[in-house]
A and B are shown apart, each in its own frame.
Chain A
Amino acid sequence: MKERIDMAAIGKEDTIVLFNAIGIPTFICNDKDEADKIIFDLTNKSCRIIYVGEEIYEAIPETLDKYSKSPFPIIIPIPEGIDSKGVGLKKIKDNVEKAIGIDIF
């Protein structure tokens, strides 16, 4: 793959494959080492946004920390399956607490 990738999606379940149909390359992976490697490869291909399934997002805090300092890639969690674990909302809560000191939502 020499083509530049703008966005990508990584997930555990096959619902993530839907993203493939709208032009976002998808990767199904099961463990965190694999996810870490995929994210590394994608970053080298100057990928901008990586959507990560919640379950994997929770499993790779070190990887997220590594990329949090630079503006790209943007790694954000999305729900897989029919119910959300609330990882995204928890992240918002953490940010509010970090910035203001208390959770106001």
Chain B
Amino acid sequence: MRAKVNPTRMELTKLKRQLSVATRGHKLLKDKQDEMVRQFMLLIKQNRELRIEIERELQEINSEFYKARLKMNYQGIMEALMIPSNSAKIKVSSKSIMNINVPTLKYQDEGNIDLTYGFAFTPSELDSSVIRLSKLLNKLILLAEVEKSSDMLAKEIEKTRRRVNAIEHVMIPEMQESIRYITMKLDDNERSNIIRLMKSKEIILNKNN
């Protein structure tokens, strides 16, 4: 669909300028999208590997915890796990991937974990599951970071793609159509002008003869 435009020279130059801007914008956005997809592929691969690894590990930890729970009463376990050995702290900053601010997290490791409960009444499975989980913590934090980054990237890629498509398939064709219409109209005017001149010249010549 062609937008309603006045077939004037001024409109034509305006449209031509707009078209060149749109083409340049389209190219830039396309490049941005390509780069984001590349970054996204790297992230999502890492994300997938981490996710699979962590899920497997967590399942094993949980099954060990179940074993511990069989050997001990519920209150006892809850009591043993009530007090944290150290509070997990993370350092937060952000980095920019193609102008999207994604979070980066850093776990502040405070050395090895101490078990804060007495060993007399707790089964060994509980100890090992807690220790294994504490070793997994680093990866859990990395997973959070990677997963959030790929989340945000995916959203941005979708948005950019929509923009690229809108420019490529709607805006640019519309402008080209308008430019064509204006040039045709202007040419037509030119031609009719010439014909008018020719005609009047003929009439004048006839009169003089």
Contact = CB atoms under 8 A, between A and B. Distances in A.
B51 A92 contact: yes
A56 interface: no
A21 B147 contact: no
A84 B61 CA distance: 13
B154 A95 contact: yes
A29 interface: no
A80 B148 CA distance: 21
Contact of A20 (B81, B90, B129): B81
Interface string A41-81: 00000001101000000000000000010011010101111
Q: Is chain A's binding surface mostly helix, strand, loop or mixed?
A: mixed
Interface string B120-160: 00000000011001100100110111011011111101100
B88 A22 contact: yes
A68 B87 CA distance: 26
Given A23-B85, A68-B151, A18 B133 contact: yes
B133 A99 contact: no
A88 B84 contact: no
Interface residues of B, number: 59
Contacts of A88: 51, 55, 147
A71 B152 contact: yes
A80 B61 CA distance: 10
Nearest to B140: A51
A65 to B, nearest CB: 11
Contact of A76 (B80, B84, B144): B144
A21 B116 contact: yes
B40 A48 contact: no
A49 B140 CA distance: 10
A2 interface: no
B77 interface: yes
Interface string B57-76: 01101110110010000100
A78 B140 CA distance: 9
B153 A23 contact: no
A22 B66 contact: no
B86 interface: yes
Nearest to A96: B44
B105 A21 contact: no
A8 to B, nearest CB: 10
Given A21-B133, A98-B154, A89 B144 contact: no
Contacts of A38: none
B103 A22 contact: no
Interface of B: 37, 40, 44, 47-48, 51-52, 54-55, 58-59, 61-63, 65-66, 69, 74, 77-78, 80-82, 84-90, 92, 94, 101-103, 105, 113, 115-116, 129-130, 133-134, 137, 140-141, 143-145, 147-148, 150-155, 157-158
5 contacts: A17-B81, A18-B61, A18-B81, A21-B133, A99-B154
Q: Which 3 A/B pairs are nearest by Cβ-Cβ distance?
A: A23-B88, A95-B154, A99-B154
